Structure 1
């Protein structure tokens, strides 16, 4: 395996190169090609590790949580404390419009025609079902697919989406370090430790391979994948560098002051990507409030009108150096607060509070990290201004102030991709004042780990969350038993409509349904499903089997 890796990297520029602006080289692919800026080189299939330009790394896909508490935040702090200095950790939360696969499973679960086998034998392939259950399911799927691209409501914006969460980790190391088996074991041990920590915090996760990385990055570097409800899977070719398999050769990037336009010849108007950084943070913000940054829970007007990607990048600093820095600044802030300057400098007391909090964090074994947030919005060019205003309103309502990254689009796009936070790239971000120092606890409470509940695994019913999350539900998915449920609502709020939907959906998957109806809410449904509607009236002589 080491010899194979050496031959692969020898044919690719991984060592002995002269950096071009820190990204591409003359011996690499042309600097004008964005693929040359990507760090991904090779993939170690046995260890499921990535060999990048200046680092070794891995990527995990997480299940976003629907809420958080203090215990979860305390558990997650160990994600940073166990990492060596120079480690780059990134969280990527993407509101994806790709919902076709979930809806396909929902439609395929409906009961088939009685002559389905004969029709399939005649055509030599599965034939379309013509029963009422399938016809209605197809209409619903079409309606929801349309809602993934444009608003389902006219009064406010509401689109269907699927929130996906990725976590990537990169450790300093070159191609030579990839041949060090001890270095690989160290990285795999770190991955196992982080996976256990995430599971302890109720964040299920899985290890991603090269195909997952390619398909993830291709979403944000090509105009025709985000703008659809589904995209064909890209497969990894181990004979080529990963970076060359991400960006389509016909993708054109046009930088503009407001954003980066992605388009193709002969295509539609393309896609405009706008990027934002946080200029100002609120004084207090907790992990369980991060769900409000994907859209307001109670105000329908404060919802994103386009797919968006929220990234947190954390660079682990040397704890010994940080301890010296915090101690020195804390002493200096204490002296200034006790001096006469405090009377004419109102921010002296605030600085003392900040450095005291940092010193207290150091005392309990924590440290400082360097972090950044990056918000990317992908919309049609004629809708970019509206998406910009909505995003600003959502973040402003939570105490944040966003800044548009004017003429910094490619750096912002790189900062939004996995495993790009190497030491060299972190220095580049620091030069542009794009990073800030925070405590490890701050880095956890500001992580985009909160989205909406996805529901259960079986798509017997399909719903949409308040922020647009496509939700599948089956009350019989409870492995612990107890399949009871209750519906509570004010008069006229739709309780009977929901119960009709549940009854029809379960009958559509060939379940037996009994209903006790007071008010004839289920009569039409029962007759449409060719069921038996039994009326209890004084003039009817009924005899029920007890």
Structure 2
């Protein structure tokens, strides 16, 4: 369990409890799986923040090292070592000259922040019960995972602060962090050698006067009218069209804020009544969008009739690239998401808020209020949250990678 405070949001001190579970992404989804995952949001109390993050990490060394350990012939071990060195170069530079193909390991993390006091025994017990309920739901959907400890959280988030870990694989182990129980976690991420500057294109970073890197942030402004969970496999890059590939490491975060069921139902009924009134007015013949709005709110009321409900949701996309590749990365991410019916907007002047919202274990009540104030969390049905969760990527293979192949989006697969 983690104790989360208000961080840089909110004027008064607030504390909450949270936990993070890392799972292996699924390769597809069925109707039954979608129904089961709805329980992930039903099992949490109001004001709970749920984040599902999918990170295209360039750290493929663990899989390659497992394969190397299984090679027992000396001559073959030398070949495997040189091969692994070549593959590690493919994490930051495309292996092909005529198309984008980067090697990456897709990591999926579900982090949940509960509005419970860490100083009461009842709050801690309820948080533990919620965590066990989430584990049971994930196992039912074949998404069994492991709980994060502070070292896991530190090293996951540190990739987005110390970019040398990302673009210089040889120094990754040297730059790994160890949790110090005498200091709070966010203080252990800061490094005085790293300078950052907010610009129009994103947040620029430079370490010890080295080359500049850029983190760009985008959020979803408009969603497709219809989507299924299996369609989320295409937002990490199209498996068949080489032009729709992601040319840099990235993180996709879906954040959901659980609402009180009765309050949300009353709000939906009022909005639906107003939408029905507007759709029947004289001006409706000149404004076709009023009929669409009525249809949307009727669908929301239908969700309540089925025993589900609404929540507030956002999608945040973060790109990590060199300054020279920033424009190419922007065009690529817009094209990939547009092909699936999503309309992205760049987060101008909100880069720090977007940065925090894309990181796991941050969606406490202070950030929830901040997102609501800026109108960045939209009212959606529970099914919308399930269907747009970034839970789908590529298969990672078996646990004995004697032979290592790679997926269409660059995921190492061991056999």
Tell me if both proteins adopt one fold, taking TM over 0.5 as the criterion.
yes
The one of 288, 294, 317 aligned to 1:375:
317
- 1:2-41 correspondence runs (5 A): 22=9
Compute the displacement of 1:305 (Å). 0.6
Query: Which residue does 1:181 correspond to in 2?
Result: 121
- Quick one: distance in 1 between partners of 2:11 and 2:241? 45
Query: Which residue does 1:209 correspond to in 2?
Result: 149
- Quick one: distance in 2 between partners of 1:357 and 1:294? 29
Gaps in structure 1 of 5+ consecutive residues: 26-51, 113-130, 474-546
Residues 439-465 of structure 1: CA deviation (Å, up to 9, x unaligned): 000001010000000011101100110
Compute the displacement of 1:240 (Å). 1.1
Query: Which residue does 2:75 correspond to in 1?
Result: 132
Compute the displacement of 1:312 (Å). 0.5
Compute the displacement of 1:223 (Å). 2.1
Partner secondary structure for residue 276 of structure 1: strand
- Quick one: distance in 1 between partners of 2:414 and 2:169? 17
* Equivalent residues of 2:53, 2:254 under 8 A apart: yes
* Equivalent residues of 1:73, 1:445 under 8 A apart: yes
The one of 131, 140, 151 aligned to 2:94:
151
The one of 233, 238, 248 aligned to 2:191:
248
**Greater relative contact order (Cα < 8 A, sep 6+):** 2
Query: Which residue does 2:291 correspond to in 1?
Result: 349
Worse-superposed segment, 360-369 or 423-432 = 423-432
- Quick one: distance in 2 between partners of 1:228 and 1:296? 27
Partner secondary structure for residue 133 of structure 1: helix
Query: Which residue does 1:41 correspond to in 2?
Result: none
- 1:47-66 correspondence runs (5 A): 54-66=15-27
Query: Which residue does 1:141 correspond to in 2?
Result: 84
* RMSD across aligned positions (CA): 1.9
Query: Which residue does 1:400 correspond to in 2?
Result: 342
TM-score, normalised on structure 1?
Answer: 0.73
- Quick one: distance in 2 between partners of 1:21 and 1:147? 37
The one of 148, 167, 170 aligned to 2:110:
167
Residues 321-358 of structure 1: CA deviation (Å, up to 9, x unaligned): 11101112222222333333322321221111101100
Structure 2 residue 260 is matched with structure 1 residue 318: yes
- Quick one: distance in 2 between partners of 1:23 and 1:223? 29
- Quick one: distance in 1 between partners of 2:332 and 2:31? 30
- Quick one: distance in 2 between partners of 1:66 and 1:463? 16
Structure 2 residue 391 is matched with structure 1 residue 430: no
Q: Structure 1 or 2: larger strand share?
A: 2
Query: Which residue does 1:454 correspond to in 2?
Result: 396
Residues 37-63 of structure 1: CA deviation (Å, up to 9, x unaligned): xxxxxxxxxxxxxxx953211111011
Partner secondary structure for residue 221 of structure 1: coil
How many residues were matched structurally?
A: 411
Compute the displacement of 1:264 (Å). 1.4
- 1:272-421 correspondence runs (5 A): 272-421=214-363
Query: Which residue does 2:212 correspond to in 1?
Result: 270
- 1:470-481 correspondence runs (5 A): 470-473=412-415
- Quick one: distance in 1 between partners of 2:350 and 2:284? 38
Residues 348-404 of structure 1: CA deviation (Å, up to 9, x unaligned): 211111011000000111111001100000001111111111111111111111111
Query: Which residue does 1:258 correspond to in 2?
Result: 201
Structure 2 residue 67 is matched with structure 1 residue 67: no
- Quick one: distance in 2 between partners of 1:53 and 1:156? 49
* Equivalent residues of 2:15, 2:118 under 8 A apart: no
Query: Which residue does 1:229 correspond to in 2?
Result: 169
- Quick one: distance in 2 between partners of 1:298 and 1:24? 49
Compute the displacement of 1:20 (Å). 9.6
- 1:511-530 correspondence runs (5 A): none
* Equivalent residues of 1:276, 1:403 under 8 A apart: yes
Provide closer, same or farther for how the CA distance between residues 53 and 156 of structure 1 changes in structure 2, counting only shifts above 3 A: farther
- Quick one: distance in 1 between partners of 2:367 and 2:7? 13
Compute the displacement of 1:307 (Å). 0.2
Residues 413-451 of structure 1: CA deviation (Å, up to 9, x unaligned): 100111211122111112222111100000010100000
Query: Which residue does 1:503 correspond to in 2?
Result: none
* Equivalent residues of 1:85, 1:316 under 8 A apart: yes
- Quick one: distance in 2 between partners of 1:205 and 1:20? 27
* Equivalent residues of 1:275, 1:412 under 8 A apart: yes
Partner secondary structure for residue 114 of structure 2: strand
Partner secondary structure for residue 113 of structure 2: strand
